Structure 1
Amino acid sequence: MTQSSRIVRPEERGPFDVIGDVHGCQEELLALLETLGYELVRDAKDRPVDAAHPEGRKAVFVGDLVDRGPDTPGVLRLTMGMVDAGNALVVCGNHDLKLARALRGDKVTARHGLAESLEQLAKHSEGFRERALDFLLDLPVHLVLDDGRLVIAHAGLPERLHGVESGRAKSFALYGDTTGETDANGLPVRLPWAEQYRGAATVLYGHTPVTEATWVNNAMCLDTGCVFGGKLTAFRYPEQEIVDIAARRVWYRHAVYGALY
C-alpha cells in the first residue's frame, strides 16, 4: 500500500466549497455556484466553461458528476474548465468511472442513467468526448487535504484507508462498504460505515442520497438527491456552513431514492 501525491495534498488548505453529487444537473450547479459567490466564465457560444471565486475559494466535487440528469456534457465542460484553471478539485464517483469505461469501449451495461449520458455526449464532437474520457480516467478516487484534516471520497472512507492507494481503498471510496449482495430493488446492500467512524479527519462524501446533510460522527453525506427532485448541497470548509438550492424538477425517477423527496 502506498500514498500518492495526487491523493495526499497537504498544501491544499482551502477555503473549500464541497459539492454533492451533481448527476448532470447543470442548471442547479450554476445556481449553487452563483449562490456561493463564484463568477461564471462563458465561451463564445455562451456555455459555462469556468467559475472562479473572487476570494480564492475552491470548489471540491465528491463525484458522480454524470448520468441521470439532463446535461452531463454541460457539467463536464464546466468542471473540466474549473479544474484546468485551478478553481476546482474532483474525486471520481462510480458513475464517472462507468461512463469512462463506456467511452473507452469497454463492455458495460448502459443503465442507471448511463444510456442517457452516452446519448447526450453523442451530440458533441469526438474531441470533446476524448477530452471527457481523459478527464474522468485521471480523477483520483479520494483526496486528503489541509494536512489531513479533510478527506473527500465519493462513498466515504474509514480512517485506516485515508491516503492509501490500494484496491481496497479504491473500491471503498467508489462503492462504499458493501456486502456483495443486492436488495429487492437491485441496489447493492451497503453497510453504514460512518456509524463506526471515529477518525479525527472530517470526511465529506456522497453516493447514497439523504434528505438532509447531517453529521454522523465526523462524517457528512452531501448527496441530497438533486436529480431525484431533492437539493444540491455544498459544505463550506472550514466555516462548517451548509448551502443548498432546490432542484428545479424531478429529473430522474427511482423507485427507492425518488420516494425520499
Structure 2
Amino acid sequence: MATQGDDDERSFFSEAPVRQATKARQAPTEKPHYLGHRDRLRERFASAGPDALPDYELLELLLFRLIPRADTKPVAKALLARFGTLAEVLGAPVGLLQEVKGIGPAVAIELKVVAATAQRMARGEVQGREILSSWQQLLDYCRSAMAFEAREQFRILFLDKKNALISDEVQQTGTVDHTPVYPREVVKRALELSATAIILVHNHPSGDPTPSRADIEMTKEVIDAAKRLGISVHDHIIIGRKGYSSMKGLLLI
C-alpha cells in the first residue's frame, strides 16, 4: 500500500525531465594572430641571421619566451621608445623596466640576466688576452658593463707584464656625477695582484664622455703614485652612452 510520501516521491521522479548526455559542440578556436608572426620571425632569424632584424624584432624574439601568451611587438616598441636602444633596454635598472606596460618583476629580472650574460661574453673576449692588441673588445666590454649605469663607477683593469688582464674590479661607486678615488688604494691593490700596469675606467651617467678637470687631475695623481712603485698607467677611459674618451688619445696624460 502506497503512502502519501510514496506518491509524492513517484510524482517527483515521473515529472522530472529526462536529461540526455549530449556532447556539446565546441566551436573551433582560432590561434592568436601573434603565433604566426612569431613563427615567421623565428624563420627569418634562422635563415637571414640577426643582422637582418631591427632592434625591436630582436627584442621581440627575446620576449617570446618571457611573455609566452601575448603580442610582444607593442612591448618591444614601448621599451625602445622609453630607453632608446636595445643596449639601453638591457642596461636599464629593474625599477625603470617595470614602468613600461607589459613588463612585470619576473620579465625585468630575466632581461637583466640576458644583460649579465652579454657582459660575461664580452669579458671573456678580453680575459687573459693581451689588452693593447684587443682594444676594441676592451671598449665593447667596458661599454656593456658601465655605459648605462645610473651612478658613476670607478673600475680598474689590472695587467701583468705581458699586458694580459689579471683582474677587472669596480673599486668605487659614487653618485650621478662624482666618484671618490684614492690613489693609494689603487696602487695598493695593484701590488696585491702583482700587476705591472693598470687601465683606469669610469663612466659618466650624463652620457657625455668628455673628461672633466677633476678627472684629469685625479688621473695625474694616480699616475704619480703608481710611477713610484714601477706601475704604469696605460690610459684612463671614460665611458658614456654617446661613446667613450681616451685621455691618452686626447693627449691629456
TM-score, structure 1 length as denominator?
0.31
| More contact order relative to length (CA 8 Å, sep ≥ 6) | 1
More helix by share: 2
Give the TM-score normalised by structure 2.
Answer: 0.32
Q: In proportion to residue count, which structure has more strand?
A: 1
Largest Rg, 1 or 2 = 2
